Amino acid sequence: MKALVPIELIEKKILVIRGEKVMLDADLAELYGVETKMLMRAIKRNIDRFPADFMIQLDKEEFENLRFHFGTSSQWGGRRYLPYVFTEQGVAMLSSVLNSERAVKVNIEIMRAFVKLREMIASHKGLAKRLDELEKKYDAQFKIVFDAIRQLMATPEPREKKIGFRVREKIARYGTSSR
C-alpha cells in the first residue's frame, strides 16, 4: 500500500525543541491538507484534550531561532501569534479532533515516523554499548580502531559560520625613501 505522505517528508518535519521531538502547527496543517488557522480553531474548540505536555507555544526567542535555522520564507509571513508545536502524544490527539479520513491516514504515518526515529536512537545506543563491550574484551592494540569508530559515530558539533567577507590588502608603506 502506497503511503499518503512519504515517511521521509514527515521525518524532516520532526524537530527537537526543549528536548522534545515535536512538529510545527503549520507543518501538521500542510500534511493534513488544511489551513493552519483551521487546525488551530479545531484545537481551541477541544483545548481540554491538549495539556501542556501535548502542545507547546514557542516563545519569541525559540521562534526567531527557528526562523534563522530555516531561513525566512513565505511560510513564516503573516503570523499573528507565536507558533505551536505538538509532541508525539499531541499529534496522536489531533486525529480525534480532525474528523477526516485524510487526517486519520496521515496521523498513522506520522506515528510510524516517530516510532522509526525512536528505533534509530535506540539502535545507536545499542551499538555504543556493544562497542564498549568489545573494547573491554580486546587489548590496547585495538584502541586506535575503537577511537576512530567512536569519532565516526559522534554527531559533529555545528560550527558557527562567519557572515561577510574579509578584504586582504597589502600594507602601504609611508615615510621617506632612501635615495
**Chain segment 12-27, per-residue pLDDT in tens:** 888 888 888 888 998 8
Query: What CA–CA distance (Å, rounded) separates 93 from 72?
Result: 30
Higher-confidence residue of 123 and 51: namely 51
Question: Which DSSP letter does residue 75 get?
Answer: T
Query: What CA–CA distance (Å, rounded) separates 4 from 25?
Result: 19
Q: What is the pLDDT of residues 28-54, one digit of tens each?
A: 888 888 888 888 999 999 999 899 989
Helix 25-32 and helix 101-137, axial crossing angle in degrees, nearest 10: 120
Higher-confidence residue of 66 and 165: namely 66
166 Cβ partners below 8 Å, 6+ apart?
none
| In contact, 11 and 116? CB cutoff 8 Å | yes
Q: What is the pLDDT of residues 59-104, one digit of tens each?
A: 888 888 877 766 655 455 556 788 899 988 888 888 778 877 787 7
User: What per-residue confidence (pLDDT) applies to 55?
Assistant: 92
Q: What residue ranges in 80-161 does DSSP mark as E strands?
A: 84-87
Q: What is the mean pLDDT of the chain?
A: 77
User: What per-residue confidence (pLDDT) applies to 134?
Assistant: 66
Residues in the chain: 179
